[in-house]
Amino acid sequence: MNALARQVRAVVWPLVGVAIVLGAWQVGVLISGVAPYLLPPPTAIARAMWESRDMLASAMGRTALGATIGFACAAAGGILIGSVIALIPILRRSLYPLATVLQMVPVVAVAPLLQLWVDNGLPMAILSAAIVSLFPVLAATIDGQASVDPGLRELFQLSRASLLSRWWKLDLPWSVPATVTGLRIAAGLAVIGAVVGEFVSGYGGVRAPLGIVIQAAMRDARTDLVFAAVALTTVVGFALFGAVSLVGWLLVRRWHASAVNETEDRR
Amino acid sequence: MRRSAMVMTAAFLCVHAGCDGSKDGSAAPARTPVRVQLNWVPEPEFGGIFAAQQDGLYAAAGLDVDIRKGGSQVPVAQLVASGQADFGVMTAEDVLTLRDRGGDLVAVFAIFQDNPTGFLLHESNPITTIEQLWMSASTVAVDASPPYVRLLNLKYGGKDLKLVPYTGALAGFLASKDAVQQCFITAEPVECRLRGVPTRVLSVATVFNPYAAVLATSAVSAAKRPEIVEAFVRATSEGWRRYFADPPKYNVGIAALNPSMSLEAMNIAAELERPLIVPADGAAIGSMRIERWQRLERELGQVGTIESGRTPSSGVLWSAPTGTPSGAAAGATR
Amino acid sequence: MTRLPPTLQFDRVAREFAGGVRAVDGVTLSLAPGSLTAVIGPSGCGKTTLLRLAAGLDVPTAGRVEAEGASGSRSARSVCFQDPRLLPWRRVVDNVALPLELAGVPREQRQASALEVLRAAGLAHASRMLPAQLSGGMRMRVALARALVTQPQVLLLDEPCSAVDEFTRMQLDEEILRTFRACGATTMLVTHSVSEAVWLADRVIVMARGRVHADHAVRVQRDRRDRGDVGFLSEVEHCMRLLAAASGRDAA
């Protein structure tokens, strides 16, 4: 099987799907005669995106910055805190359920509260993004490190390895696939978190991020611009998700079952 | 005079509805369901609507009114234009903007004659005018880029100003002595006063004074069912008259729907809004003048909100096609 | 080996699990220095528990396990398990070096030692590979090499051939024998294959219900063992009978 051909097909079919949906949308809007301020056709959205490209690019950059920094903080914090919790059995039993439950807290509900604690603008987007993306990383890290093969634990026990050495050489690498799964979920959530943070405290004017652009366009009944900004939010989320997936794949591609299909050919 | 016309119309509609009812073979008179979308939670700024509901004025006019509360994220104008609500409370800017985009809205009743929007500051804040505020480096919580903010930007620059979204919560304002936020003169300042927080309000009306809250409906359905619009406008107008005769009586019912604002605050707010709602020149409550819509259109053109080259102000005012003009309808065509 | 390896001494050793199950119930055994002892018995007879007690992975509820005459350091014991237990993200050479790494041996030195045991095992070509690239039998051989890298004085083998096919098993048995000869450690082999036990061991212990049921010294010299030879086969047959008796006792 030609790997290149397979990869090309993996890209082509989803693109065909997108094309079908966009085409149906365009035709549907034209036939039904629905008002463009309620549902603009894809061409109108594309035009709005092009006409406002400078403003949208700057807004996208700000949102991406908030989401990425927030995500990075959550990733570092989640892996660190998750490791400590996983290493200490009492903490694991008491805090793991809590970490799972806290994943359910809707950031939309908390965001106005966060406003009291940090500055408006970027810090707020970062905090909001970090909060939503922390718990999936935390839960996945605890999960991954608590499920280390007991046989391998015994191997380290036989050599009387220290707890820290076992964590660094066994628990941490073992949990990479699980943590990467958590990070991928977190990457998507980080963008949602950042936009929610912007909704309650993003800066307006030239410093406006996508969240504010969406609100302002909504107020102006510029539905085409709303859709354009929402589409760019998705692009930011997808880019972050893709970057995390790529790094995760590079880390485990040689040895983990989730990536082994790729190496099968070379064997 | 106005009142007798009102009663007559109501009586006529009752009879009319009764006929409909007998046609359907049902004993009870069938009332027309009407959905009214507010742009905020129940507060005295909607006092006349709630008074009309509480006193059964809508029911007497053959209307089965369902009042729906709103919030800062509810796109009222779009909901009304798309027929998901029959009437909506929105700003005059919303009406003209959506008309500019091809939305077919008409304004039927102005709640506020004068703009109650203002900026709320702590009394200790040295800023005393909007111009000073706009030249400062303050952080101001406002709705996402409303036209008056763009107008102020055009006028004063405001390059150091930090604009952040207005969420409707007072907590952020109370937490910081430097905080500035948009407000309705009738709402947040009252709340602060009751909490013992001294504040100062800079009124936006001095620079930007369109009808800050109007009831609008879809032009298509208004043309199709003018009698419904007329009945609704009359009942609402009478509701406001009754509300201002005894606000506390009606505020009890409004307060029951809004746990975040006390009855005491509502009673104060009613007195504060009275001069902004009751026309100073003795015209009927709810009446509108086309010149003010035209002026708004020019202002919106300046800030780029209106861009299509249409003149959305022409035809924005609804007028009853037949019958004796009276009450708000008369004011609208004045 | 300059120094004589220790005697592995089990003194009335018992291990009772929660619920009153006695996996090991009073075992007294003495494994001679440098000998290879095979422990066989039906499933659940306690042979693996006995090995884990010897490894220090479990603690007896009564009695003692001691390596007499040794320096006393427990790191001189190596264990090779049923499964290879390799770290999938490490190359073969780094897996083999792991026990030295955990003991604090400097990188260059432990890499050299690891390469040396791999070369001796004929695995030098695989040293840069990852475990996922190896066959099951190769992985077991890597695990054996890892057990050897610390130059253990006591070697504990827990059914190292249970997961491989018959042909690979014979290859692995050769490897075990080579390993045993290379390090000269006092060796305990737990297995469920009677012919393997007879082919490898000086002595075969048959366990049943946590106790030593039979203790048989293999009568064919190790150098003369041949799987097709009559003498060898009669030894196997003898042990089979002992095992059958133990199984009967087990079932009773």
Per DSSP, B319 falls in state: -
**3-state helix, strand and coil shares in percent for chain A, rounded to the nearest 5:** 85, 0, 15
The pLDDT tens digits for C25-69 are 889 999 988 899 999 988 888 889 999 999 989 999 999 998 876
State whether B81 and A120 contact (CB < 8 Å). Answer: no
CB contact under 8 A, A38 and B101: no
* CATH (residue range A40-264): 1.10.3720.10
pLDDT value at residue C75: 46
Note the pLDDT of residue C70: 58
Question: pLDDT-derived band of residue B263, with 50, 70 and 90 as boundaries?
Answer: very high
First CA to last CA distance, chain C? 46
% of chain A residues with pLDDT over 70: 95
A positions 142-171 inside 8 Å of C (CB) = 149, 151-152, 154-161, 165, 169-170
**Is C251 a residue whose pLDDT tops 90?**
no
Q: Which chains are within 8 Å of B by 3+ CB pairs?
A: A
Per-residue pLDDT, averaged over A100-112, amounts to 80
Q: Determine the pLDDT at residue A267.
A: 36
What is the C-alpha separation between B330 and B230, in angstroms, rounded? 11
Shortest CA distance from A216: residue in chain B: B144
Name the minimum distance, in Å, from the CA of B317 to any CA of chain A: 20
User: From the CA of A81, how many Å to the nearest CA of chain B?
Assistant: 31
Domain ranges of chain B: 2-113+211-332, 117-206
CA distances in angstroms from A238 to A72, A186, A197, B17, listed in the order given: 16, 12, 19, 57
DSSP A130-182: HHHHHHHHHHHHHHHHHT--HHHHHHHHHTT--HHHHIIIIIHHHHHHHHHHH
Name the pLDDT band for B22 (thresholds 50, 70, 90): very low
Predicted TM-score of the model (pTM): 0.79
Helix (H, G, I), strand (E, B) or coil at B231: helix
The DSSP bridge pattern shows strands C186-190 and C154-158 to be: parallel
Q: Compute chain B's Rg from CA coordinates.
A: 20
Which residues between 176 and 205 in chain A have a beta carbon less than 8 angstroms from any beta carbon of chain C?
Answer: 176
Q: Which domains does chain C have, with CATH numbers?
A: 7-82+154-251 (3.40.50.300)
Name chain C contacts of A264, Cβ cutoff 8 Å.
none
> Cα dist. B223→A28, B26, B98, B230, B255 in Å?
28, 28, 18, 11, 35
Confidence class for position A44, pLDDT limits 50, 70, 90:
very high
Tally the C-alpha atoms within 13 A of residue A1's C-alpha that lie toward its C-beta: 11
Helix (H) or strand (E) holding B122: strand B117-122
Q: In this predicted structure, what is the pLDDT of residue A108?
A: 79
Residue B174 sits at the chain A interface (C-beta within 8 Å): no
Is residue C79 over pLDDT 70? yes
pLDDT (0 to 100) of residue B123: 94
Q: How far apart are CA A80 and CA A74, in angstroms?
A: 10
Better pLDDT: B188 or A4? B188
> What is the architecture of the domain spanning B2-113+211-332?
3-Layer(aba) Sandwich (3.40)
What pLDDT is attached to residue C69?
Answer: 65
Residue B102 has pLDDT above 70, yes or no: yes
Q: Which CATH number is B117-206's, of 2.30.40.10, 3.40.50.1000, 3.40.190.10, 3.30.450.40?
A: 3.40.190.10
Convert chain C into a string of H (helix), E (strand) and C (coil). CCCCCCEEEEEEEEEECCCCCEEEEEEEEEECCCCEEEEECCCCCCHHHHHHHHHCCCCCCEEEEEEECCCCCHHHEEEECCCCCCCCCCCHHHHHHHHHHHCCCCHHHHHHHHHHHHHHCCCHHHCCCCHHHCCHHHHHHHHHHHHHCCCCCEEEEECCCCCCCHHHHHHHHHHHHHHHHHHCCEEEEECCCHHHHHHHCCEEEEEECCEEEEEEECCCCHHHCCCCCHHHHHHHHHHHHHHHHHHHHHHC
pLDDT in tens, A164-223: 999 999 999 999 999 999 999 999 999 999 999 998 888 877 788 999 999 888 888 889
Tens of pLDDT, residues A18-37: 999 999 999 999 998 888 88
Q: How far apart are CA C113 and CA C147, in angstroms?
A: 12
Instruction: Identify whether the C-beta of residue C200 lies closer than 8 Å to the C-beta of residue C168.
Output: no
Is the pLDDT at C166 greater than 60, yes or no? Answer: yes
Average pLDDT value for chain A: 88
Write down the pLDDT at residue B78.
92
Chain C residues in contact with A165 (beta carbon < 8 A): 102
Question: Chain A: residue nearest C129 by CA?
Answer: A254
* A116 half-sphere exposure, CB direction, 13 A CA radius: 10
Chain A residues with CB-CB distance to B under 8 A? 35-38, 112-113, 115-116, 120-121, 198-205, 208, 212, 215-216, 218-223
Of C79, C131, C132, the CB nearest to A158: C79
On whether the CB atoms of residues C175 and C217 are closer than 8 A, the answer is no
Q: Do C57 and A267 touch (CB under 8 A)?
A: no
Q: Which residue of A has its CA nearest to C146?
A: A155
User: Is there a contact between A207 and A34 (Cβ–Cβ < 8 Å)?
Assistant: no
C-alpha to C-alpha distance for A112 and B175, rounded to whole angstroms? 12
Separation between Cα atoms, residue C175 and residue C178, nearest integer Å: 5
Tell which wins on pLDDT, B24 or A238: A238
Is pLDDT of A258 > 80?
Answer: no
What pLDDT score does A111 carry?
Answer: 80
